[in-house]
Amino acid sequence: MVFNSYTFIVFFAVMLLLHYLPLSWKTKKINLLLGSYVFYAAWNPPFILLLWLSTVIDFFVGRKLYYEENKMRKKLLLVVSLIGNLGMLCFFKYGEFILENFVSIVNMFGMDYHPADPGIILPAGISFYTFTTLCYTIDMYKKESAPVKSLLDFSLFVTFFPHLVAGPIVRPPQLVPQFEKPKMATRKQFFDGLLLLSLGLFMKVVIADSLLANTADTVFNAPMPLNALDSWAGVLAFSGQIFMDFAGYSTCAIGVAMCLGFSLPQNFNNPYASIGFSDFWKRWHITLSAWLRDYLYIPLGGNRKGKVRMYIALMLTMLLGGLWHGASWTFVFWGALHGLYLWIEKALSERRKAKGLAPVKKTGFVGFSLAVLTFLLVCITWVFFRADSFGKAGMLLLSMVGTFGDQGFKLLSTIAILKVAIVIPCILVFQWMMRNRQVTQEAHSMSWWKLGMAWSFLVLMIVWAQESGSAFIYFQF
């Protein structure tokens, strides 16, 4: 089930009705849990067993980890949890990838080995709920928070339908306490939640799917070299599409949870207004960035054990972050590029400090110019994220710099290029203007008739573009 479907509208209306009926809080939580399972079962019902198994194992192992005093047993329990979670993730998400690479290596040594296709189906959102349960057991091992008392609360924490399939990646202290006492949205929360849901659907259905998706697909699926204008139009279109698609989902998720009285963490904060790549990763997929920082970068040494160790930890974190997104070397290379960008940025920053130079200006024309430069460099990384092979990525990059000249094919219509030429600058300018502001705060500062007109426009455009809607890109991760 996806947010941009009529089925979800009916489902959400039923969940709201059940949530606001005069029932006991425990009954309402059971309704939310059962509803979350129904929401997930809409993709593939048998995979609910995986979700349930992961939930039950981590609940009891986490409790045991917290109270266990024997260090050897404690480490053994942590290993059991890690094997259970990461083993399941590796099998379903990376099984075919590992097998393909193994076959390639074996064939390099002259062995003619061609196994049958394992036909592994990737469960929706497995990367997200695996990281959600992993952070719980790791926190229990470190005793950084108290164990969840109720299996019902823990199950709801893992499977709460707004964040289940594509985040935000939540941690127990962020959500579990909200299940302990009855929760109902205030009038303001409900209003803000519906507004965010409308905005998220507009970002996904209208901008990502209707205005940008076809252009990106045409360019990235082209089997031949293109001219520079078409190449750049396709890459810029995908840059806008991936943001509007994923941030649109997160905005919907936060809005849906808010309508029920719950708060989910912010996942995007105008990332295309970032000045530099450290800033970008503080604004893009915030909950994943924080997870990788706390559970990978810092345990690897972070910036506490010298520059060399810091640079190694940084690159390893970005490589694994790339691999988290998909079972392909192109994703790993995407992560490596971001790691390289962060290396260069840190080196330049240290050099400026050594020379006693003032920090880079982050306001006005200079700041905006740096944000545009950051965006364009990020666009180059999106080529490897979207292309299904290094060959296609390389051909597209060569096309972008005009290598093929008159031999580059022209596939895009003038209208398609104009859409990109209008939409992408509007996204950049809007995000720059909203760089340190929140949509809901701006909405409350508007007069009622201006907000009403803007909201009506969003809804009308969503209805108009609904047939072009498709599944969210990050469902595959």
3-state helix, strand, coil in the chain (%, to 5): 75, 0, 25
User: What is residue 43's predicted lDDT score, i.e. its pLDDT?
Assistant: 77
Nearest C-alpha neighbor of 133 from the set 179, 183, 78: 78
* pLDDT tens column, 314-329: 999 999 999 988 888 9
In the chain, what percentage of residues exceed pLDDT 90? 51
* pLDDT tens column, 163-188: 988 879 999 999 999 998 898 999 99
* pLDDT tens column, 218-244: 999 998 889 999 999 999 999 999 999
* pLDDT tens column, 327-359: 889 999 999 999 999 999 998 888 888 777 777
- The CA distance from 464 to 121, in Å, is 34
Nearest C-alpha neighbor of 74 from the set 137, 134, 130, 133: 137
List the beta bridge partners of residue 409: 226
In the chain, what percentage of residues exceed pLDDT 70? 96
Give φ, ψ of 226 to 5 degrees.
-115, 170
User: What is residue 473's predicted lDDT score, i.e. its pLDDT?
Assistant: 65
- The CA distance from 273 to 431, in Å, is 6
Of the ranges 92-101, 147-156, 297-306, the best mean pLDDT one:
147-156
User: What is residue 284's predicted lDDT score, i.e. its pLDDT?
Assistant: 94
User: What is residue 475's predicted lDDT score, i.e. its pLDDT?
Assistant: 57
Where are the chain's structural domains?
A: 26-182, 189-275+360-469
What rounded mean pLDDT belongs to the chain? Answer: 88
- Residue 226, SS3 per DSSP: strand
Give the pLDDT mean for 194-217. Answer: 93
Please tell me the least confidently modeled range out of 28-32, 77-81, 202-206, 392-396. Answer: 77-81
Active-site annotation, residues: 325
In 42-122, alpha helices (H): 48-67, 71-108
Res. 470 pLDDT band, cuts 50 70 90: low
The pTM of this model reads 0.90
Provide CB contacts within 8 A for 45, sequence distance 6+: none
The DSSP secondary-structure symbol of 143 reads: T
Instruction: Inform me whether the pLDDT recorded for 474 exceeds 70.
Output: no
